Every structure is written in C-alpha cells, then in structure tokens.
Copies of this chain bind each other. A is one copy, B any other.
C-alpha cells in the first residue's frame, strides 16, 4: 500500500525523482564552479550520494551534463511560452519577454550556464543542438509576438523574423556583457537598450513602453 500521498510511489518514480534531483544538483554545481572544474564527485556530494550512483543513472559524465542542459533549456522555453500566453497588448507582451530575458538581479547568474555551454558547444554537437533549439525558441517567440503586433496594427515591421533575430542577438550580446562585467552596465541601462532597439524594429515611439 502506498503511503497516503503518491509521493513515495513506485520504484520507477523513485528513479525518476533521483534523476531529477541529480540534474538539479548538477545545474547548481556547474553554476557555482563552472563546467570546466565540475567533478562528478562534486555533484555526488551536493546530493549526499555516492559517486557510483551518478554512473548508475547516467552512463557518463557527458550524459549527465547534456541531460542537465537539455532539461534547463526546455524549462526556460516552457516558462517563456507561459509568459507570452498571458493577456495584454502586443507592446506589453513584448516588454514582458524583454524583461524575462534579462537577469533579474546581479545575483541571478543563470546565464553563466549558457556561456559555458557555448564554449562546450563548439566541440560537442549534442550540446550545439540543444543551444540551437533554445535560441530557436527565443527567436520564434519574439517573431510571434512581433507578428501579432503587426496584425493588430500596433507594430510596423515587414520582416518580423529578421527583427526577432536582431533583437535576440543584441540581447545575447548585452546580457553577456552584463553578466561578465556587472559594473560596466546596469540592469536599467540594459533594459533601456532593449526597449530602444525594439522601438526601432517594430516602428513605435519610445513612449509606447513604460519609463
């Protein structure tokens, strides 16, 4: 008999839960120590688990890292989709996407993971594929929001896909700068850049965005 709640359920569920726990620990450890100096043992310690168990659930270290990146990427795109599914005008929805893009505070270092992943992706096709999907998700969603704005007559843009690529690229580049040299650019200035570039791309006045 299962204990009241389905929390302690079948073994398959237990294994899934452990897998998820390991992926989560892997993400935290990699964020903290960097991919290059993350050891399997570190992830084991962060989970209070033996080193051998890691290799029971994931054949190799690469498997673990790749699975962690894929899981993180998928979560990110899912949240992004939720964000644009909400209500509001096209400008409001676009602004929400821009704000979601930018780390919410200096201590939010989630982008570090993608810096590591870019470097890794150069050599590892599997990682590159994950990154391509993640970037594709961002661009697609930006293009959707812009296209909808154009249809509603809020925006003016004859190439939403191109505009989305340019916006996404600029945000990538600026967020790297913000993450690496937080002193060189404030979050406020970064958001202002994003909004100005957006006004250029969708043909609306700066005043259409919040101050």
Contact = CB atoms under 8 A, between A and B. Distances in A.
A18 interface: no
Contacts of A136: 184
**Contact-residue size bin, chain A (C-beta under 8 Å from the other chain):** 35 or more
B180 A165 contact: no
A51 interface: no
A81 interface: no
A115 B112 contact: no
Contact of A172 (B166, B173, B179, B201): B173
Contacts of A169: 169-174, 177, 193
Contacts of A116: 119, 122
Given A169-B173, A200-B200, A36 B119 contact: yes
Interface of A: 34-37, 112, 115-116, 118-123, 128, 131-132, 135-136, 162, 165-166, 168-174, 176-177, 179-181, 184-185, 193, 196-197, 200-201
